[in-house]
């Protein structure tokens, strides 16, 4: 899948809103294996927070690293949910962080979008990807790949209405 060179802020806003809406109106069952809904949402909140920190660095003219193994660590994600006071608090964090990232995407210049940052992706305790990528492309991937991936995951965990 080809990721765009810059994110579409309107699409990003819609995709985050869809995740939050799904989480608010659904009852989720425990998975047979893998993450439960709260861990998926904690992962999205942690990823979005990480992207906000990277975006701040890019705005300052830095080339920060984008990736953190803690954003896929089961215990860290469970603790984040507990620290937020449960699903409602977690969704409030995700909404606030998403609004900040959308505002960043709206203000992104072509030069900032082209800034190469080290992009690392972790999964199941290992590193899947470690390469430099343009910042705008990473944000584009968040919009068209990562958010839809986890939306589908949440839909699969949702009890029928």
Q: What is the pLDDT of residues 46-57, one digit of tens each?
A: 999 999 999 999
Runs of H (alpha helix) within the chain: 9-25, 37-59, 74-83, 87-107, 110-114, 135-141, 147-157
**Does 1 map to a domain?**
no
**Does 94 map to a domain?**
yes
**Does 30 map to a domain?**
no
Mean pLDDT confidence for 150-155? 96
* Banded model confidence at residue 42, pLDDT cuts 50, 70, 90: very high
- If residue 27 lies in a helix (H) or strand (E), which one and from where to where? none
**Does 58 map to a domain?**
yes
Domain that residue 78 falls in? 9-24+36-157
**Does 3 map to a domain?**
no
The predicted pLDDT at position 2 comes to 80
């Amino acid at each position: 899948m080809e990721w765009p060179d810059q994110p579409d802020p309107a699409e990003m806003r819609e995709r985050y809103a869809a995740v939050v809406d799904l989480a608010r109106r659904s009852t989720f069952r425990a998975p047979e294996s893998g993450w439960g809904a709260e861990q998926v949402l904690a992962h999205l909140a942690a990823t979005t927070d990480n992207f906000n920190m990277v975006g701040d660095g890019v705005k300052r003219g830095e080339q920060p690293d984008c990736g953190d193994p803690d954003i896929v660590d089961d215990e860290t994600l469970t603790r984040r949910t507990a620290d937020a006071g449960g699903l409602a608090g977690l969704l409030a964090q995700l909404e606030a962080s998403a609004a900040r990232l959308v505002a960043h995407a709206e203000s992104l210049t072509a030069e900032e979008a082209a800034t190469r940052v080290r992009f690392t992706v972790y999964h199941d305790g290992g590193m899947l990807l470690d390469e430099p990528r343009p910042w705008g492309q990473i944000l584009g991937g968040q919009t068209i790949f990562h958010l839809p991936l986890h939306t589908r995951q949440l839909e699969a965990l949702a009890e029928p209405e």
